[in-house]
Homo-oligomer: A and B are copies of this chain.
Amino acid sequence: MAKIFHSLVSVEEALELVSDAAYLDSSAREEVDVMNCVGRVLYEDLLSPIDSPPFDRSEVDGYAISASDVFGAEEDHPVTLRLVGFSEVGRLPQLELRSGECVRIATGAPIPKGADAVVMVEYTKESEGRVEVYRPVVYGENIAQAGSDYVIGDIFLRRGTRITSREVASLSALGFKKVPVFRELKVGLFSSGVEVMPPGSQLTVGKIYDANGPAITAMIKEAGCVPSYLGILPDSYEAMYIAVHKALQEYDLVITSGSTSAGLGDMMYKVFDSLGKPGILVHGLKVKPGKPTIVAVVGKKVLFGLPGFPVSAMMIFMVLVKPILAKMSGIDFQVGRVVTAKVPFRIPIGKGRRTLIPVSVVTDNTSYIAYPTPGSSGSVSVLNYSDGFVDVPENVEFIDEDEHVTVNLFSDQLVIPELTIIGSHCPAVELIFNLFQSRCVTKVINVGSLAGWNAIKRKEADIAGTHLLDEKTLKYNTPFIEQFGLKGKAVVVKGYIRKQGIITKPNNPKNIHTIIDFLKEDVRIVNRNKGSGTRTFIDYNLKILSESLKVDLSSLCKKIKGYNYEAKTHSAVALAITQERADAGIGLEFYARKYNLNFIPLVDEEYDFVVLKDRLSKPKVSEFLNVLGSKDFAKALPSKLDGYSTTESSGKIIEW
């Protein structure tokens, strides 16, 4: 495992190094029909080929007149004019107006000669060839003058403009049928890694699905380019060389992902370096995550090797690849969407490297809050919960609580959630959403009960799911309003009961019946993470046990094999037992049944919801609580989720 990184370079240095190769030659111009040009980039400044409007025209339905004729006209003293004709849209009227005359005119119709204003039909009365006018008009009123908008030769759109519906409107209004645009960039994309398998295939042990292929394909598309996904690179130097070499001939730019760090990475590095001059320009980026990034130029083609973890690959795509694609597509500026957000707590940053922190954007009604997404770079949930990332320069050691940061959104289509739920994970929450009248844009972040209470305190969650036992009062949840200083600020709403107990293998081969059995020589447990309600419950029971056994608590814990092996979710506990990594653990009956494991009930746990008081009036919060207290939910809950039941208080405020 030799370290094969050369000296790390910054993103700016990397962009500079490839800038000469990042262009398209004169073949970059093509013409597309105005009907198909949305999303494309203008190749040249466009001049109006016509005067716009092409003739003086009326902006209203009414009568074309000479303004001086109706000077002083009033409701009580209308001025009467002679109707001498009409002007309709699409035809130039041949008549000429003289003093005392008027011409009936429609919106968009040409102004007849001699007229210098139009009075709206609402302020007139026509009868028998005469028109009474009840209001004066000023010269030019309700007339759009020829050329007042654009004249022949005026620049109305500039080179490099990304065409949206707005630009299509002015292009077509000025008569453009064909629009000169940059041709679309063709990008070839490979995934790599011996562990990587294509989605849809059967996953064998030790393998994972290829997320980067489809995800980077989508990002290339969103950047306005044409991706070609070329599959997972073969696992040999020769085959890899041939595939990448061929792609470089056929595409404007080639991207690979994975196999950049070690082992296979050596091979990828050698392939990149042997394809042609100037070869590898960057091997190792001074960015976290993203160090294992390779940038090469072969002839005039740019070649990127992105990291294997999807979150890293996507962020490095955004800071490094997207600017190059934009430049080669004719756009000199970044089009990525950003929002300004506060950070909810102090975030320490490792020194010496630019750091990209995936964040989930939530709102407290007055501003956005960027919540660092918990989980590792390899995690799918990090992908799923993150709306974008914060880009922290290398000289920054921390971001302070409430500091404002810029969030680079993963997509221009970010939808702000109507309801944000942070806290303990519970499958019943999904059941509540299923019973909503209309769909609701929700963000659910599962980080444990304690983190949920903190999120309520920081106001970034509307609702937090909690099942925390207070050791003093032996009450669930309600005492924590006081303990978290949320008196008057938040309420606890009764949720439901979930059965917790000991989960063991089917038929309970190690004869485990109470927590005391965790001390047996041949038993290895799987514990839960600190801050979770279940861990609090386990530790409370061990404390009682240590007192009754008259043993020091920490000695007791040391005797339990696996005590420090912390699963983060109920399901991971069940999985650890299924996969024989542990003999027992504490978890929900629901997950025991789901994995066909043995379950010994210990406690009816009270799972409740903490709600910020000033969010109770939010429509989606009140719908959530209504469903929680509904008969439909009471009926559905026990039938869909083993070990669950509502109480008479479900959906009611039980502490405030």
Contacts and interface: CB of A to CB of B under 8 A. Distances in A.
A422 B252 CA distance: 40
Interface in A322-345: 332-333, 335, 337
Interface stretch (A167-175, A274-282, A607-615): A167-175
Contact of A206 (B91, B144, B430): B91
Interface in A362-397: 375-381, 383-384, 386-387
A34 B172 contact: no
A147 B594 CA distance: 14
A548 interface: no
Contact of A203 (B162, B175, B410): B175
A442 interface: yes
A195 to B, nearest CB: 4
Given A92-B205, A173-B209, A415-B162, A575 B146 contact: yes
A171 B380 CA distance: 9
Interface stretch (A491-499, A507-515, A562-570): A562-570
Contacts of A150: 380-381
A159 B441 CA distance: 10
A145 B566 CA distance: 9
Given A411-B165, A439-B159, A174 B209 contact: yes
A153 B157 CA distance: 51
A151 B380 CA distance: 11
Given A149-B379, A410-B165, A172 B56 contact: no
Contact of A175 (B38, B110, B121, B209): B209
Nearest to A197: B175
A292 to B, nearest CB: 9
Contact of A378 (B108, B170, B375): B108
Interface string A527-567: 00000000000000000000000000000000000001111
Contact of A177 (B156, B200, B337): B200
Interface residues on A, range: 35 or more
A173 B383 contact: yes
Interface stretch (A73-81, A211-219, A470-478): A211-219
A52 B571 CA distance: 11
B172 A381 contact: no
A210 interface: yes
Given A57-B378, A170-B380, A147 B206 contact: no
B333 A418 contact: yes
A80 to B, nearest CB: 18
Given A156-B384, A565-B116, A581-B56, A151 B333 contact: no
Contact of A168 (B218, B335, B439): B218
A215 B147 CA distance: 22
Given A211-B169, A215-B168, A218-B38, A174 B380 contact: yes
A206 B151 contact: no
A190 B213 CA distance: 40
A310 B173 contact: yes
Interface string A579-595: 10100000000010010
A438 B333 CA distance: 10
Contacts of A263: 88, 106
A200 B218 contact: no
A169 B55 contact: no
B147 A172 contact: no
A32 to B, nearest CB: 12
A413 interface: yes
A219 to B, nearest CB: 4
Interface in A130-159: 138-140, 144-151, 153-159
Contact of A412 (B160, B206, B216, B412): B412
Given A169-B211, A174-B380, A262-B106, A569 B218 contact: no
A420 interface: no
B380 A206 contact: no
Contacts of A410: 164-166
Interface string A160-197: 10101111111111111110000000000000011100
A433 interface: yes
Contacts of A84: none
A159 to B, nearest CB: 7
Contacts of A170: 211, 380-381, 383-384
Nearest to A417: B333
Which of A150, A151, A206 has the most chain B CB atoms inside 10 A of its CB?
Answer: A206
Contacts of A378: 53, 57, 59, 108, 144
15 contacts: A35-B213, A35-B217, A57-B378, A89-B194, A109-B206, A149-B379, A150-B380, A151-B572, A166-B314, A169-B211, A169-B384, A172-B210, A172-B214, A177-B199, A412-B412
